[in-house]
């Protein structure tokens, strides 16, 4: 399937061996949906709390919760709990929308804040926007 948005051509295909949906841009540069989300999570937390906070978060995720960096999109509740406990940040309400906004920017799709949306809602919306760009 080929989709067009913001003057970019996007090819959507599934990699069954990795269980991930992968997007490839026109320049044949693969854009892994989960990798882009992980990058948005890390960039946002670092920008909001600083590099040392990101290191502390990743260390706790690895050592106490057995979460690797590529599993971040699947363990947002754990991340929010750590952020609230260690840094007193209400993750879902504070950092969630910031992560979503950065994620959309990296994907090249327009971001609109929706009251009551969780990060997972934004991720699902991004999948729909990339798959069916005419419905944006």
Q: What is the DSSP string of 28-39?
A: S-EEEHHHHHHH
Residue 104 has pLDDT above 90, yes or no: yes
Average pLDDT, the chain: 76
Q: In the chain, which ranges are continuous DSSP H helix?
A: 33-49, 51-65, 76-87, 96-107, 119-131
Residue ranges per structural domain of the chain: 34-135
State mean pLDDT over 15-24.
46
Three-state secondary structure call for residue 119: helix
Q: What average pLDDT does range 52-71 have in this prediction?
A: 88
Min mean pLDDT across 36-40, 56-60, 88-92 is at: 88-92
In this predicted structure, the answer to whether residue 14 has a pLDDT above a threshold of 60 is no
């Amino acid at each position: 399937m080929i989709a067009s948005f913001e003057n970019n051509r996007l090819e959507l295909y599934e990699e069954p061996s990795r269980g991930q949906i992968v997007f490839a841009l026109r320049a044949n540069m693969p854009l892994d949906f989960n990798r882009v989300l992980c990058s948005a999570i890390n960039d946002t937390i670092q920008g909001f709390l600083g590099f040392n906070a990101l290191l502390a978060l990743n260390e706790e995720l690895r050592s106490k919760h057995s979460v690797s960096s590529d599993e971040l999109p699947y363990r947002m509740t754990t991340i929010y709990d750590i952020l609230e406990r260690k840094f007193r940040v209400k993750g879902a309400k504070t950092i969630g929308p910031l992560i979503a906004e950065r994620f959309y920017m990296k994907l090249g799709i327009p971001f609109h804040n929706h009251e009551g949306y969780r990060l997972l809602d934004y991720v699902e919306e991004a999948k729909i926007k990339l798959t069916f760009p005419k419905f944006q």
